[in-house]
Amino acid sequence: MASILVAGGAGYIGAHTCLDLFNKGFTPVVYDNLSNGHAEFAKWGPLEVGDIRDRGRLDEVLRKYRPLAIIHFAAAIEVGDSTKDPGFYYENNVAGTINLLRAAQAAGIDKIVFSSTCATYGIPTSIPIDEGHSQSPINPYGRSKLIVEQILRDLDLYQGFRSVILRYFNAAGADPEGRIGEWHSPETHAIPIAIETALGRRPYFQVLGTDYDTRDGSCVRDFVHVLDLAAAHTSAIAHLLNNGGSCALNLGSGHGTTVKELLATVQHVVGRDFEIKQGPRREGDSPALVADNALAERALGWSPRHDLQSIIVTAFNWHSNYLPI
């Protein structure tokens, strides 16, 4: 089977993408420093431990497996942390990616699928957000991703290095069979925190900001199932291998849910109430982020198959039955 290097493939979205790649006839080669990923998640192909900032290690792995293309997830991703240590985000996300791209070019690889983010849009001027919306990120995390997007555009324009940039919104959910799921330490994402609260592992859920200009004062987010994101990455690889051109695409459900609405849905789906407290806004958060995903459907034939209830059911199954404690 043809090999695809998956940088950050032992992480949450990366591991689900490896599962999808394997199911569709590829061998995912996981390259991960395991700072946030888990060796146990490398179930569908070999695991090579290494950092994207380590050029020698990258060269070694690329020579060994000769992948047809790269999927790049390896990044620091927490908005709040990025405002506390911006330098690390630029070192890891930008300098590390440049190192990965140079290694790829030296190995004769000219195709990459890049994990980007809706955070590159900043505070939207219109909802839903399409790919033509201006990109003005309001935190170092979003800026680090936008810089990489600009680098990829230049590589395409001047060197024919093709890329599919995937800007996803809020990834959530888990493999229904419980083999992999969302496993962060510490956990900072809304759905896992709500589920942990419902399971009694946290005393309460704190809503970060209740004075936004939204229908109930809490942030609006677009939750998309991780399996749908994984399928998009495999479709993007097929697009590049079939000589498709470079593009940047939104991946979201197209539906906005406020944090308060999300909590009510979690309580309904799992059948448990839990304490909710109101807190101050978190620095770097946008009031509302909702995707227009029509371009992804046209370019990749992709559209999300899972709704919010399916997301919560699979996440609850993972957290209550399979997540290592």
Phi, psi of 121 (to 5 degrees): -80, -25
Distance CA 269, CA 229 (A): 22
Q: Which residues, 6 or more positions from 71, have their beta carbon under 8 angstroms from its beta carbon?
A: 4, 5, 6, 7, 9, 14, 17, 112, 113, 115, 233, 236, 237
Q: Which of 121, 141, 168, 212 is catalytic?
A: 141
The region, left, alpha or beta by phi > 0 then psi within -120 to 50, assigned to residue 160 is left
For the record, the structure tokens of 79 come out as 């908005």
Residue-level pLDDT at 248: 98
141 tagged catalytic: yes
pLDDT tens readout for residues 96-119:
999 999 999 999 999 999 999 999
**pLDDT in the model for residue 116:** 98
Q: CB of 72 within 8 A of CB of 149?
A: no
Segment 129-144 mean pLDDT? 96
Cα separation, 9 vs 249, in Å, equals 21
Q: What is the DSSP string of 253-312?
A: -S--EEHHHHHHHHHHHHT----EEEEPPPTT--SB--B--HHHHHHH-------HHHHH
Residue 252 has a pLDDT of 97
Query: Average per-residue pLDDT in the chain?
Result: 96
Helices and strands counted in the chain (H then E) = 11, 13
Tell me: cis bond preceding 186? Omega within 30 of 0 counts.
yes
How far, in Å, CA of 29 to CA of 19, rounded? 11
Rounded to whole angstroms, the Cα distance separating 178 from 183 reads 12
CB 180 within 8 A of CB 41: yes
Q: Please state the rounded mean pLDDT for residues 307-317.
A: 97
Give the mean model confidence (pLDDT) for residues 166-174.
96
Of 267, 269, 272, the residue nearest 310 (C-alpha): 269
* 117, two tokens: 């983010």
- The mean pLDDT value for 204-220 works out to 96
The percent of residues in the chain predicted with pLDDT above 90, rounded, is 93
Long-range interactions of 265-268: CB distance < 8 A, separation 24+ = 265/308, 265/309, 265/312, 266/191, 266/194, 266/195, 266/198, 266/312, 267/198
Give residue 283's pLDDT band: very low, low, confident or very high (50, 70, 90).
Answer: confident
Q: How far apart are CA 78 and CA 98, in angstroms?
A: 20
Question: Does the pTM of the predicted model rise above 0.85?
Answer: yes
Question: Rounded to an integer, what distance in angstroms lies between the CA atom of residue 289 and that of residue 42?
Answer: 31
At 325 the pLDDT is 65
- CATH for 3-173+224-252+294-300 is 3.40.50.720
> Cβ contacts of residue 208 below 8 Å, gap of 6+?
219, 259, 279, 280, 281, 282, 285
Which helix or strand (DSSP H or E) is residue 195 part of?
helix 190-198
What are the residue boundaries of the structural domains of the chain, listed by start?
A: 3-173+224-252+294-300, 190-220+255-290+308-321
Written out in words, the top-level CATH class of the domain with range 190-220+255-290+308-321 is alpha beta
* pLDDT tens for each residue of 176-211: 999 999 998 888 899 999 999 999 999 999 999 999
**Rg of the Cα atoms in the chain:** 19
Give per-residue pLDDT as tens, 232-262.
999 999 999 999 999 999 999 999 999 999 9
